[in-house]
């Protein structure tokens, strides 16, 4: 396969995978790397009856190293099978990493776009912001998602605006109104993040069509942009489309950002036109937990908009992952369906997850069950609103709502504890109507008010178990059997 570099990387990658021992925090139904490090979801798409998910993969180093695209497939968006590694950094234009990108499918052909990262050696001369880097846009096609045509270099830094730094990356492509559109994330020389919008008629030749940013300072770099439109299922705004511009901004400072993660992922609802004048709503977080970054969406052939995030966080010293002992780190979130209702953007686990439910237990107001590692739990307000709620997952992770705050808190804050250094995350929430908690062996995802607010975290329990107290509610718990 490929040139000598990619064939050796392939052999070494397989040798590492043969040595892998995922350990007792191995996940049951979350997409994980076979060994080493995983970050962003890439190339999410459906071809025929198969879903494809690629991932930023460093098999040689669980703390991150040279990036390639790992590949997994699924028939139901819930159970994933690892397929091997798809794209290696084996060319001068992607030698420092096959960075993030997308797959756009048309007529059973996968059109893949990614960033070829090049970082030149000479730390004395380069600042790696305005010098020392290349961010190349690479285009590859595939009929089966496993074998690929030649890599074509279609854009270099010379094709991006002159007042952008060398940080431009993460192409996402789709077709709209008879043309192809691409968004890329960028850092301007004045340290403002922005989204570049490109247009093409043939997927090979692209020209800059717009630049989108906030009027006010909002971070220095916007990574992993995505854009999509949702039909609004509510009554208030019926027939209007909600235009969603998703970004992962870096460098947010001050006020509320001080108690949140080092980097964020969220979206603006856009009024106006992506290709013309537009106005961006206040930014809303996709997820307010400890571990969520760089999500990507795709449209399934049944029309659903599916979002998958990286359940991890770059550049944080605050907390760690105990799976490092077993030579691997990070996973994806479960696939979430994104919908709009009366102008609100909601996320819920894809309905395919329901097929894993078994052993239903239901109680009013209080439930306490030992030993659940993989579970799905719902708390529904019998009369609508819930006045107060407190739950513990893995005995040490407390979820609570009261006095207008929804909180996720680890009771022990030390690095060796269940939270491995994670402490507390919270968001203002005036009214609580329902909560859904999906647990896997070492992760918890919480969906509040039909997914208006979500919190995702990794955790490392020594004793599994869930207890919930919420007066006036019906609590239901299922085991999930993957
Ligand atoms: C986001 C990111 C992307 C980049 C990739 C490299 O986590 O920094 O911008 O393409 O990761 O792994």
- Residue-wise pLDDT for 187-213, tens only, equals 999 999 999 999 999 999 999 999 999
Mean pLDDT of the chain: 96
Share of the chain above pLDDT 70, in %: 99
Q: Looking at residue 425, which CATH number applies to its domain?
A: 2.60.120.560
Give yes or no for residue 159 having a pLDDT over 90: yes
Residues 12 and 153 in one domain: yes
pTM, rounded to two decimals:
0.98
Q: Which of 323, 349, 375 is the last residue of a domain?
A: 349
Closest CA to 293 of 461, 131, 55: 55
Examine the residue annotation and report whether 40 is marked as an active-site residue of this protein: yes
- Ligand 1 in contact with 40 (CB < 6 A)? yes
Query: Average pLDDT for residues 121-146, to the nearest whole number?
Result: 95
Q: Is 167 in the pocket of ligand 1 (CB under 6 A)?
A: no
| Residue 366 falls inside a structural domain | yes
Instruction: Give the pLDDT band (50/70/90) at residue 101.
Output: very high
CA of 249 to the centre of ligand 1 (A): 12
Q: What is the pLDDT of residues 219-276, one digit of tens each?
A: 999 999 999 999 988 876 656 789 999 999 999 999 899 999 999 999 999 999 999 9
Residues 407 and 277 in one domain: no
pLDDT the model gives residue 238: 58
* Shared domain check, 320 and 396: no
The phi and psi torsions of 102 (rounded to 5 degrees) equal -135, 170
Asked which of 305, 327, 349 is the last residue of a domain, the reply is: 349
Q: What is the pLDDT of residue 211?
A: 98
Query: Quick one: which atom of ligand 1 is closest to the CA of 314?
Result: 7
Same domain for 402 and 299: no
198 within domain boundaries: yes
Q: Is residue 25 part of a domain?
A: no
Residue 117 CB–ligand 1 contact under 6 Å: no
- Rounded CA separation 61/17 (Å): 12
24 in a structural domain: no
How many C-beta neighbours within 10 Å does residue 30 have?
23
Share of the chain above pLDDT 90, in %: 95
CA of 474 to the centre of ligand 1 (A): 42
- Same domain flag for 270 and 375: no
- Total domains in the chain come to 2
Which range of residues forms the domain containing residue 371? Answer: 352-480
Q: In the structure, what pLDDT confidence band is assigned to residue 362 with cuts at 50, 70 and 90?
A: very high
User: Is the CB–ligand 1 distance for residue 94 below 6 Å?
Assistant: no
Residue 215 predicted with pLDDT over 80: yes
pLDDT at 383: 84
| pLDDT at position 298 over 90 | yes
State if residue 170 touches ligand 1 by the CB under 6 angstroms criterion.
yes
Residues 310 and 364 in one domain: no
Query: Distance from the CA of 99 to the center of ligand 1, in angstroms?
Result: 6
Average confidence (pLDDT) over 43-53: 98
Domain CATH for 232: 2.115.10.20
Q: Are 331 and 366 part of one and the same domain?
A: no
Q: Quick one: pLDDT at residue 1? A: 57
| Marked catalytic residue, from 8, 40, 368, 450 | 40
Note the pLDDT tens digit of each residue in 324-349: 999 999 999 999 999 999 889 999 99
Residue of 135, 172, 223 to mutate, ligand 1, most atoms within 8 A of C-beta: 223
Same domain? 362 vs 338: no
Asked whether residue 181 falls in the same domain as residue 322, the answer is yes
Tell me: do 324 and 390 sit in the same domain.
no
Query: What is the C-alpha to C-alpha distance for residues 328 and 198, in angstroms, rounded to an integer?
Result: 37
Reference 213, options 230, 181, 188; nearest CA is 188
Identify whether 400 is part of a domain: yes
The half-sphere exposure of 345 on its side-chain side, counting CA atoms within 13 A, is: 26
Final residue belonging to a domain, choices 319, 349, 379: 349
Q: Does residue 100 line the site of ligand 1, with CB under 6 A?
A: yes
Q: How many Å lie between the centroid of ligand 1 and the Cα of residue 40? A: 7
Question: For residue 147, is pLDDT > 80?
Answer: yes
If you measure from the C-alpha of residue 233 to the centroid of ligand 1, how many angstroms do you get, rounded to a whole number? Answer: 33
- What spacing in Å lies between the alpha carbon of 157 and ligand 1's midpoint? 17
Q: What span, in angstroms and rounded, lies between the C-alpha atoms of 381 and 85? A: 46
Are 309 and 174 members of one domain? yes
Reduce the DSSP state of residue 35 to 3 states and report it. Answer: coil
Q: Give me the pLDDT at residue 239, please.
A: 63
pLDDT greater than 80 at residue 434: yes
* 290 and 193 share one domain: yes
Q: Which of 172, 286, 294 to mutate to test the pocket of ligand 1 (most atoms within 8 A of CB)?
A: 294
Q: Would residue 451 count as lying in a domain? A: yes
Classify residue 425: in a domain, yes or no. yes
- Please indicate whether residue 330, judged by its CB atom, sits closer than 6 Å to ligand 1: no
Given a cut of 90, is residue 425 above it in pLDDT? Answer: yes
pLDDT band of residue 166 (cuts 50, 70, 90) is: very high
**CA–CA distance, 127 with 131 (Å, rounded to integer):** 6
Regarding the beta carbon of 115 and ligand 1, being less than 6 Å apart is answered yes
Sign of CA dihedral 166, 329, 38, 351: negative
Q: What is the mean pLDDT of residues 63-80?
A: 97
What sign has the CA pseudo-torsion 82, 173, 306, 45? negative
Q: Is the CB of 56 under 6 A from ligand 1?
A: yes
Residue 269 lies in a domain: yes
Q: What is the pLDDT of residue 237?
A: 60
CA dist 392 to 41, 66, 411, 467, Å?
Answer: 30, 38, 10, 5
Whether pLDDT at 26 is above 90: yes
């Amino acid at each position: 396969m490929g040139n000598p570099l990619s064939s050796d990387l392939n052999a070494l990658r397989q040798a590492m995978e043969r040595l892998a021992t995922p350990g007792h925090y191995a996940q049951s139904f979350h997409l994980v790397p076979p060994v080493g490090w995983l970050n962003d979801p890439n190339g999410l798409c459906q071809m025929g009856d198969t879903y494809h998910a690629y991932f930023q993969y460093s098999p040689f180093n669980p703390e991150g190293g040279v990036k390639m695209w790992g590949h997994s497939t699924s028939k139901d968006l819930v159970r994933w099978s690892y397929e091997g590694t798809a794209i290696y950094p084996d060319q001068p234009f992607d030698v420092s990493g096959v960075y993030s990108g997308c797959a756009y499918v048309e007529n059973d052909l996968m059109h893949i776009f990614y960033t070829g990262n090049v970082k030149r050696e000479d730390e004395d001369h380069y600042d790696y912001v305005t010098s020392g880097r290349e961010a190349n846009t690479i285009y590859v096609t595939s009929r089966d998602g496993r074998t690929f045509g030649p890599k074509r270099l279609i854009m270099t830094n010379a094709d991006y605006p002159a007042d952008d730094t060398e940080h431009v990356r993460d192409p996402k492509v789709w077709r709209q109104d008879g043309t192809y559109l691409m968004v890329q994330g960028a850092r301007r020389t004045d340290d403002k993040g922005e989204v570049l919008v490109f247009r093409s008629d043939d997927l090979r030749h692209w020209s800059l069509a717009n630049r989108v940013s906030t009027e006010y300072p909002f971070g220095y770099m916007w990574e992993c942009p995505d854009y999509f439109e949702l039909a609004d299922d509510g009554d208030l705004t019926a027939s209007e489309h909600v235009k969603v511009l998703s970004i992962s901004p870096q460098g947010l400072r001050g006020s509320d950002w001080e108690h949140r993660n080092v980097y964020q992922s969220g979206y603006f609802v856009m009024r106006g036109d992506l290709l013309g004048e537009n106005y961006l709503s206040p930014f809303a977080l996709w997820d307010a937990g400890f571990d969520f970054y760089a999500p990507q969406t795709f449209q399934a052939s049944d029309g659903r908009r599916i979002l998958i995030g990286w359940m991890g966080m770059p550049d944080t010293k605050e907390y760690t992952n105990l799976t490092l002992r077993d030579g691997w780190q990070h996973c994806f979130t479960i696939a979430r369906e994104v919908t709009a209702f009366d102008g609100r953007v909601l996320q819920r686990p894809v309905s395919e997850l329901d097929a894993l439910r078994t052993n239903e237990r239901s109680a009013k107001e209080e439930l306490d069950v030992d030993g659940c590692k993989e579970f799905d739990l719902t708390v529904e307000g019998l009369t609508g609103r819930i006045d107060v709620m407190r739950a513990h997952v893995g005995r040490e992770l407390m979820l609570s709502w009261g006095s207008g705050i929804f909180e996720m808190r680890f009771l022990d804050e030390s690095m060796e504890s269940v939270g491995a250094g994670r402490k507390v995350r919270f968001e203002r929430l005036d009214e609580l109507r329902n909560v859904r908690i999906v647990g896997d062996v070492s992760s918890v995802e919480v969906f509040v008010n039909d997914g208006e607010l979500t919190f995702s975290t990794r955790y490392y329990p020594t004793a599994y178990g869930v207890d919930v107290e919420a007066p006036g509610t019906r609590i239901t718990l299922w085991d999930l059997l993957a």
